[in-house]
Structure 1
């Protein structure tokens, strides 16, 4: 990637303040790419840390002095801690070091910092140099779903030395604005940024909350030196629930993948020229579900393998399969509308071909456009999820941008759900009218017996078609609607319903197809035994799904 090739040369030994300005210029030029691409952010953080240490090593001053650097989006205070300063601490086990101020209006948000005296005494006088970095903008540290709610503070020691297992620990007091949108499951916690695993973690950090005049004072006690911040954790899934939901999802999706594949086999070996169009549409919906379930089973594997394009491919294919499922839901409704309401006994040329182009093509266009803007913003890749009572993170291949995920998928699903709901109401209205006509003809007597029989047959077929669509809509639409209903907070009943219903969709579609094929076989047998001509139409008006 060209952006990486621009940043890598800045890791040279002679690079300094001017190169730091160039690094921030590169980031500001490609803001969206930095926010969405993990590899670019990792490279940025590595180069930035290297430049900070270069500046620290080049700083010349006497013991006890402080040199401040204003480096555009961050401020660096290089402190040479003298023996006299440590001695002046007296009985205290910590010494306070001032983090640099960025802007006068941000002064109240710069954390107060205390480092343990005993750890500093173990360092030679000439090497006892500490760098404190305050960040004005911290988008490069935005990994995962957690929200950074304070200023990010980085603590570095000369020579890239690390302090670990500190006793007493480093103490920091962060000031954050009070959150008005916090719920009972949300909390402000001290985190450190792990530059090996590239994520925010809490082990080795203790959090103490204190409210003072509308501001949250978060006291952090941490046992090592890294970047620190206070993050708003919005009630992620607990580890035990995550394991149960994972088992349900994987077992259910495995069964669904098997049964949807079986549906395709049944259709291939049982199809004939008189096969209902409805069965073809059910099979296509089943095929979309098969692709979705199969790619879902590969999401965790894809996040662990190299090269990175494997994970991108899995994420893209799963998103495509999801949109295909939504699209074939709409086609189910459209077919019923054409069959029962709009164009009874009307022929459509290449009807199934047109439906197939829409069902498989529209999602392809959407995903293709999303994938085509990767140079501007990468929407697909590794997505991290964290459990509530553990630091364990779970990486999967999926959409990395939450706003893109909810705006596109929610809008697409909402349009289809509204469309299907409209079809359901139209079909219900049509069924009620046919029932009224049927009852009226029965009251008129023998002269309307033949017409009443035809109306009754059409009424019965309409009821079956309406129930089929209603079942598919409830099965597919309602279950996917649970995902959006439960977004933004953890609701375990909704999560369990979502996993159970969606992971078993393939099984229900398989049963539908089996019943449809069985009914088709019985109708073919009746047609061969009867001399009555079969009525046909372009949209197959004799379709009788269960």
Structure 2
């Protein structure tokens, strides 16, 4: 009889739950607290549904999910080891439920997958802000801090929320989640200030809500991607070193037959590329066998690698300067001992910078951990500049800021080349038609395209793709392929110049405009 009675009671409780439209009480055990967020996802304003249903859910050992706190005192709660919330007393005084001396507070963490930003449309919002920021949620968790008696905003004292982020240094912004009346959700920074201290983000906000820290998206590389990129870099650098030697031989032969300043500049650029790729391969090989950070041989290779990279950037800048003399100055561009002075700049500036950096002791073994989507990591080692703070500043100044300035200048020069080519072609093209004229136009267009692509490689423009590597994995592949094969591109440019020289030598009619563009004649 007793089992039947218990069965009837349970059946009546389930029926009461169904009839109450899923508004559960603790006595019925109909909805677990861990399932509230999942159930409310079907609602248009799901966060408001969550705030309502979380008050009547049930959970074994509620883990401080809903707390009844003394409204006359400030409170600090830590739902996890990485999160904490400090609520000032003034927040409880604003609460309508604090008349009896207590306030009911919700403090917990939710998975960030529940929060899916949508495009905002016009309509009323809780706070007057523009479209929300974008980024990756730190740790994939959202900290919930809410007084269940009603919305809390414009507090006289800010609520302090703490997010620990571990050893890795990241930049982030404190945000909260907002739903408008149309059901659109987005992150907002309104009323929140962000600061960093001792491996944690400290958010101070004038309201209570669903809080998170948005950090810059971190590009994750799988072990397969790391293997492919490593293989591409090694093979590409080896090919570049080989083809740089071949390009040097061709440039030397051209300079003997037809002395030209541009050919001399190309030869120095090929030499710098040979040094860069050869030293890069040696640095990777040496770093694998070094256990300490301050190994002298690894430091010396790091200095030489840095010097080679600076030399490549400097000679690319000098190529752009030479192009400026041809296309902008045009007249009175003769400079006595021009190539010797260019050599003093192209090799002297990198030497001076490398010696100053070497005296400050920044060179050593560099180690970088690469994350993958499975939360694993792989380690990249190179004889370069060590991971110290001073080395990081030198790295950004000499290998990021300086090359970007060179790329911007050379991009302007390349744009000027395109403009000059179109102008010259427009003046030289006749009005007549026919198949022969069409073939001539196609041939000239092909030559112009080859000229532009070749100049892009000579001017070092592929390095400008560095910013794209923070966007997607395919961009990393493109950047790696173009820059590791730069020696091959310079070799192909030397072949183009050689073919042009032979063609001009065997023909009495020359296209002077293309010759100027192809050989940088002064």
Q: Distance in 1 between matches of 2:288 and 2:268?
A: 31
The residue number in structure 2 matching 1:500 is: 481
Give 1:315 deviation, angstroms.
2.0
Alignment partner of 1:518 is 2:499: yes
Q: Is the 8 A contact 1:238 1:387 kept in 2?
A: yes
Closer/same/farther in 2, CA of residues 108 and 495 from structure 1, 3 Å limit: same
Q: Distance in 2 between matches of 1:343 and 1:289?
A: 29
The residue number in structure 1 matching 2:408 is: 418
| Aligned counterparts, 1:145-184, within 5 A | 183-184=135-136
Q: 1:484 aligns with which of 456, 467, 486?
A: 467
1:98-123 CA deviation, whole Å, 9 max, x = no partner? xxxxxxx9x989997xxxxxxxxxxx
Q: Distance in 2 between matches of 1:150 and 1:396?
A: 36
Alignment partner of 1:187 is 2:177: no
The residue number in structure 1 matching 2:40 is: none
Alignment partner of 1:315 is 2:302: yes
Give 1:235 deviation, angstroms.
4.9
The residue number in structure 2 matching 1:544 is: 519
Closer/same/farther in 2, CA of residues 280 and 373 from structure 1, 3 Å limit: same
Q: Is the 8 A contact 1:299 1:315 kept in 2?
A: yes
Q: Distance in 1 between matches of 2:251 and 2:457?
A: 24
Give the secondary-structure state (helix, strand or coil) at the position aligned to 1:286. Answer: helix
Closer/same/farther in 2, CA of residues 543 and 346 from structure 1, 3 Å limit: farther
Cα-Cα RMSD: 4.7
Give the secondary-structure state (helix, strand or coil) at the position aligned to 2:304. Answer: helix
Closer/same/farther in 2, CA of residues 497 and 305 from structure 1, 3 Å limit: same
1:76-106 CA deviation, whole Å, 9 max, x = no partner? xxxxxxxxxxxxxxxxxxxxxxxxxxxxx9x
Q: Is the 8 A contact 2:229 2:480 kept in 1?
A: yes
Q: Distance in 2 between matches of 1:438 and 1:355?
A: 34
Alignment partner of 1:393 is 2:368: no
Give 1:296 deviation, angstroms.
1.7
Alignment partner of 1:289 is 2:269: no
Q: Is the 8 A contact 2:367 2:379 kept in 1?
A: no
Give the secondary-structure state (helix, strand or coil) at the position aligned to 1:272. Answer: helix
The residue number in structure 1 matching 2:340 is: 353
Q: Distance in 2 between matches of 1:465 and 1:336?
A: 16
| Aligned counterparts, 1:199-238, within 5 A | 211-213=143-145, 215=161, 234-238=218-222
Alignment partner of 1:471 is 2:454: yes
Closer/same/farther in 2, CA of residues 544 and 465 from structure 1, 3 Å limit: farther
| Unpaired segments ≥5 residues, structure 2 | 1-73, 85-108, 113-131, 146-159, 167-198, 202-214, 432-442
The residue number in structure 2 matching 1:383 is: 367
Q: Is the 8 A contact 2:269 2:315 kept in 1?
A: yes
Q: Is the 8 A contact 1:330 1:416 kept in 2?
A: yes
Alignment partner of 1:303 is 2:303: no
Q: Distance in 2 between matches of 1:523 and 1:501?
A: 31
Closer/same/farther in 2, CA of residues 230 and 344 from structure 1, 3 Å limit: closer
Give 1:258 deviation, angstroms.
1.1
Q: Is the 8 A contact 1:256 1:503 kept in 2?
A: yes
Give 1:212 deviation, angstroms.
4.9
Give 1:500 deviation, angstroms.
1.2
Give 1:477 deviation, angstroms.
4.2
| Aligned counterparts, 1:66-77, within 5 A | none
Closer/same/farther in 2, CA of residues 238 and 215 from structure 1, 3 Å limit: farther
Give the secondary-structure state (helix, strand or coil) at the position aligned to 1:486. Answer: helix
Give 1:371 deviation, angstroms.
2.4
Give 1:434 deviation, angstroms.
4.5
Give the secondary-structure state (helix, strand or coil) at the position aligned to 1:187. Answer: helix
Closer/same/farther in 2, CA of residues 323 and 210 from structure 1, 3 Å limit: same
Give 1:253 deviation, angstroms.
1.3
The residue number in structure 1 matching 2:394 is: 404
Q: Is the 8 A contact 2:469 2:479 kept in 1?
A: no
Give the secondary-structure state (helix, strand or coil) at the position aligned to 1:294. Answer: helix
Moved more, 428-437 or 279-288: 428-437
The residue number in structure 1 matching 2:352 is: 365
Closer/same/farther in 2, CA of residues 432 and 236 from structure 1, 3 Å limit: closer
| Unpaired segments ≥5 residues, structure 1 | 1-104, 113-148, 152-174, 189-208, 221-228, 444-459
The residue number in structure 2 matching 1:256 is: 240
Give the secondary-structure state (helix, strand or coil) at the position aligned to 1:382. Answer: strand
Give the secondary-structure state (helix, strand or coil) at the position aligned to 2:519. Answer: coil
Alignment partner of 1:330 is 2:330: no
Closer/same/farther in 2, CA of residues 380 and 345 from structure 1, 3 Å limit: same
Q: Is the 8 A contact 2:248 2:267 kept in 1?
A: yes
Give 1:260 deviation, angstroms.
0.9
Q: Is the 8 A contact 2:414 2:456 kept in 1?
A: no
Give 1:242 deviation, angstroms.
0.6
Q: Is the 8 A contact 2:233 2:484 kept in 1?
A: yes
Closer/same/farther in 2, CA of residues 340 and 264 from structure 1, 3 Å limit: same
Give the secondary-structure state (helix, strand or coil) at the position aligned to 1:507. Answer: helix
Alignment partner of 1:342 is 2:326: no
Give the secondary-structure state (helix, strand or coil) at the position aligned to 1:349. Answer: coil
Q: Is the 8 A contact 1:324 1:363 kept in 2?
A: yes
Give 1:544 deviation, angstroms.
3.5
Give 1:247 deviation, angstroms.
1.0
Give 1:219 deviation, angstroms.
13
Give the secondary-structure state (helix, strand or coil) at the position aligned to 2:335. Answer: coil
Moved more, 494-503 or 234-243: 234-243
Closer/same/farther in 2, CA of residues 545 and 522 from structure 1, 3 Å limit: farther
